[in-house]
Chains A and B, each alone.
Chain A
């Protein structure tokens, strides 16, 4: 599904001098895999995730998503591809505070120009699937951390993406809440969704079937060509 070749991300420090966040990243991720990206702070894990999620465009190298050469696409085309194929789960949940649970789930569908009736059906299904129907009219501030992340995951998968990217999805949760989320990811993966997560937790990494280790911007382990 994903092929990275010689991917590099750097920031200019002074004329002719750069700071490298990612260096010569070449990895493959097959469809249906559950990959954990691990490494110490500053290794470039989140940056890699945001590049995979097409949030970050300032990189060099090659990135193929299902044989589409992302590195040749313009920003608008990347955004369209992202909307179609990728869901993102954030460590801080990043729910919209002024929207109810229902509306938070609805918003990615409205951005994808799904018509109102269809949206209503999809949101209802998702609420049911995640067993949060009773909370649909609540605002994020009225939910616990675990419930907010649950909604975050629900929002990420509502448009049926092929790939879920999760950046420290349990970082702000209690262990029991974190377990619930990881079990949910496992279930989604078993249903065919490819998952790439960034995590510090060995336990969380154990839910996946492959670990990629990054250090100082390099892949040091788990690369697959």
Chain B
């Protein structure tokens, strides 16, 4: 075996051009496979970084009849489940919360979470310093402790070894740091496709739960996620059955909260929730890189076939000296496996670079991308792929050459034998296969690109140009929240919002400024149920529950969303004025399809109560696509901020010029009011829109890149085969030219052969594409899986590239000197 390796290495060193091209081809293909497998390994296969993650599950509620599922729970529901749910050893509620970290030169907003003390024991991850929450560190007055992430500890505090037990100022309140969680710890884990196109940022601060008295009263105010660790001996079905029973009891006991029917709760294994949304996309990506690998293997096989032709004499000598077929096969496969391994090693380097690039462009698109790396599993798989690929592309030429015609090859002046004809057939078949596979990839990429272009051109219902957004979260300690004794209709908050808006509106270049509680296309959403005046619901009929926005008067002017009927909010729509509401035309059509919605009234209260607060519809605006550019606009309604004070709002500013120039000025104005108040997530509306279609864009970029590589390889394959054909037929071409063939005749001869291969490959490729593009349906928008235009364009493009690749050697053939060609030993 060692001698075969030695001989193979010598042979490859003797042909540096062939060796470099072969290794480069394999590096590209195996590197792509390695990168995609790294993604799959980290995101789908590797267990979640918790103890026994398969037993951890999320509990979501649902209102099936209203089409609402995966709804969080309310504090009263959590506390009830803590007492009643026996199938879980532990239960932990959690929610996101941002913290304004003060105490430095510049205040900073940090993503955090409010969690039950049982969370860390449930997940089974120990801190690297200090401790996690004790059972009694729960509830108002006992929650002034925090645990921070190693990431934050290193970045903001320079890994200060004395940080544990020190105090930090968060939201203008002092908290003691009691522990630091390791860098690999992450909770909550972003759920792809649950929060929408965007996922929440990675959490760096954890604080204990502290339900307010108001939260404890309102059973229907649902904003907490719920995690459980199922008992080892309890199957999921049993736990689900127990949960169904508990829910059934709640419906009987709390009829007012669960009327309308369809209320339920489901247990979702955490791993499925985390990876489920990514499975399809990653599977498609894996299919694409496998295609690229097959094309590269076919290319290598054709190159090795040409090489085997040149080695026919050597192989014949070996047989004459006693080599059996297996020894010859082993010799040839040794060379191809060595190439495969060299390609794999180079491919790993390429994949590391590729993953770094992917982390840059996919950071806001693929959750947990930071965990993706080339680990031992990936290296082992890549090595196996390298060896397997070497065997795959080496097998065909090895078998085609392992039975050389001895007498022809060994005789003086022996001409090419029938085994040469066999090799030509195999080579042609491989090129046909390459073209077919490349066409499938190109069609897929073409369909995705067309989808993407269609989505990009959708009118979202607002003008995304020249508008800046920034998130502002007001801390409770300085700006009392609803339920607090100092709330006073949110005076402090509204005063801040008004002053900030006044200052920003006066900045040079600002055309309009306003607030909203959620930005369109940002991945966030809020909804609330309401009642319509004069509408009586049936016994089990669910009440309306639609998407709710809280905005300031100029918000629609910032977005340039047209007003269809009525008016926008005014400054006079304040806390002392009658309640007002603006709706979009989707909501108007849904609930008042045959009448004018203007002037109609809705309420959040029980309509039977005499003191129910009614809100009058004063305006109807054009619908905005909130959930995504490729989602139809949903019914939405808008309340004025002055009548519904909120502590977290998003400032939106329309500018006459590049809105990014306003960022520092806006920050300055906010901090002029409150030096400890940061602004966060500053981005243009164009960036928000672009981020919303980032997953689609990423699919296009990746599949497009792989299709491009496939096209290049197929072109190289055609070029190689036709070049070899020209060399083989040099003598024949010389004879034809000596007999009167013109340049055009020679071109037709050579290019005609190429056309035949391209034609057959195209037909096979189209059939394969028709069979496979259905898998892309979920990723397409407004484009059918069998879109004729795409199929035709892609076919023409591939044929053009293939013909160009064959034209170059064909042109070379026409320039041959007939006398030299005639003396060529075919």
Using a CB–CB cutoff of 8 Å, the interface residues on chain A facing chain B are: 46-47, 50, 53, 55-56, 79, 82-83, 88, 90-92, 94-99, 103, 106-108, 110-112, 155, 167-168, 171
Cβ of B407 < 8 Å from any Cβ of A?
A: yes
Contact status B412-A110, CB under 8 Å: no
Interface residues of B in 275-316 (CB under 8 A from A): 313-314
Bound Cα distance from A50 to B321, whole angstroms: 13
A96: contacting residue among B318, B327, B410, B411, CB under 8 A:
B318
- Could you name 5 residue pairs across A and B whose Cβ atoms are closer than 8 Å? A79-B324, A96-B314, A107-B318, A111-B321, A112-B322
Q: Are B410 and A94 in contact (CB under 8 A)?
A: yes
Is there contact, CB below 8 Å, between B323 and A111? yes
Q: Are B412 and A97 in contact (CB under 8 A)?
A: no
B139 is an interface residue with CB less than 8 A from chain A? no
Q: Digit string of B399-417 for contact with A (CB within 8 Å is 1, else 0)?
A: 0000000110011100000
Taken together as a complex, chains A and B put the C-alpha atoms of A7 and B319 apart, in Å, by 24
CA distance A145 to B429 in the complex (A): 41
Residue from A50, A99, A110 within 8 A of B406 (CB atoms): A50
Q: Which 5 A-B pairs have the closest CB atoms?
A: A111-B322, A55-B406, A83-B322, A108-B321, A94-B317
Contacts of A99 in B (CB 8 A): 7
On whether A55 and B410 interact (CB within 8 A), knowing A79-B322, A107-B321, the answer reads yes
Name the distance in Å between A50's Cβ and chain B's nearest Cβ.
Answer: 5
* B14 beta carbon closer than 8 Å to chain A: yes
B10: interface (CB < 8 Å)? yes
Residues of B within 8 A of A155 (CB): 321
Residues of B within 8 A of A (CB): 3, 7, 10-11, 14, 313-314, 317-324, 327, 406-407, 410-412
A56 to B320, CA, bound (A): 11
Contacts of B327 in A (CB 8 A): 111
A46 contacts B411, CB within 8 Å? Answer: yes
- Specify which of B10, B322, B323, B410 is in contact with A50 (CB 8 Å cutoff): B410
Please give 14 more A-B residue pairs, beta carbons under 8 A apart, in addition to A94-B410, A99-B7, A111-B327: A79-B324, A88-B320, A90-B317, A90-B410, A91-B412, A95-B317, A96-B314, A96-B317, A103-B7, A108-B322, A111-B321, A167-B412, A168-B412, A171-B412
Residue of A nearest to B14 (CB): A98
> Does the CB pair B10–A98 fall under 8 Å?
yes
Cβ-defined contact, B321 with A55, below 8 A: no
When distances are taken between beta carbons in the complex, the residues of chain B under 8 Å from A50 are 406-407, 410-411
What chain A residues lie within 8 Å of B313 (beta carbons)?
94
Name the residue among B11, B324, B407, B412 with the largest chain A CB count within 10 angstroms. Answer: B407
Q: In the complex the two chains form, what is the Cα distance from A92 to B412 in whole Å?
A: 7
For residue B319, which residues in chain A have a CB less than 8 angstroms away from its CB? 79
A165–chain B nearest beta-carbon distance, Å: 10
Closest to A87 in B: B321
| Residue of B318, B320, B327, B411 with most chain A CB atoms under a 10 A cut-off | B320
Contacts of B318 in A (CB 8 A): 96, 107, 111
B407 lies within 8 A of A47 (CB): yes
Given that A83-B322, A111-B321 are contacting pairs, would A98 and B406 also be in contact in the complex, using a CB cutoff of 8 Å? no
How far does the Cβ of A77 sit from chain B's closest Cβ, in whole Å? 12
Contact B3 A110 (CB under 8 A): yes
What's the least CB distance linking B495 to chain A, in Å? 87
With a cutoff of 8 Å between Cβ atoms, the chain A residues found around residue B320 in the complex are 53, 55, 88, 94
Q: Within 8 Å CB of B317, what residues of A? A: 90, 94-96
Assess the B11–A98 pair: CB atoms within 8 A: yes
A88 to B320 CA separation, bound complex (whole angstroms): 8
B3 contacts A103, CB within 8 Å?
yes
B477 to chain A, nearest CB (A): 81
Q: How far is the CA of A198 from the CA of B533 in the complex (A)?
A: 114
A79 to B321, CA, bound (A): 10
Task: Report A-chain residues with C-beta under 8 Å of the C-beta of B3.
Answer: 103, 106, 110
Give the residues in chain B near A90, CB-CB below 8 Å: 317, 410
CB distance from B81 to the nearest CB of A (A): 74
Name B9's closest neighbour in chain A (CB-CB).
Answer: A98
A90 to B318, CA, bound (A): 13
Q: A162: shortest Cβ distance to chain B, in Å?
A: 15
Cβ contacts under 8 Å, B314 to chain A: 96-98
Q: List chain A residues, Cβ under 8 A from B7.
A: 98-99, 103
CB distance from B4 to the nearest CB of A (A): 10
Task: State the CA gap A112–B327 with chains docked (Å).
Answer: 11
**A97 contact set on B, CB distance < 8 A:** 314
Chain B residue nearest to A109 (CB atoms) is: B322
Q: Are A111 and B406 in contact (CB under 8 A)?
A: no
Residues of B within 8 Å of A92, CB to CB, are: 412
**A94 and B324 alpha carbons, distance in the complex (Å):** 18
In the complex formed, the residue of B with least CB distance to A108 is: B321
Bound together, the chains give a CA A91 to CA B410 distance in angstroms of: 9
Q: Give Cα A50 to B3, complex, Å.
A: 29
Compute how far the CA of A50 lies from the CA of B407 in the bound complex, rounded to whole angstroms.
7
Taken together as a complex, chains A and B put the C-alpha atoms of A47 and B7 apart, in Å, by 31
In whole angstroms, how far apart are the Cα atoms of A155 and B321 in the complex?
9
Cβ contacts under 8 Å, B406 to chain A: 50, 55-56
CA distance A55 to B407 in the complex (A): 6
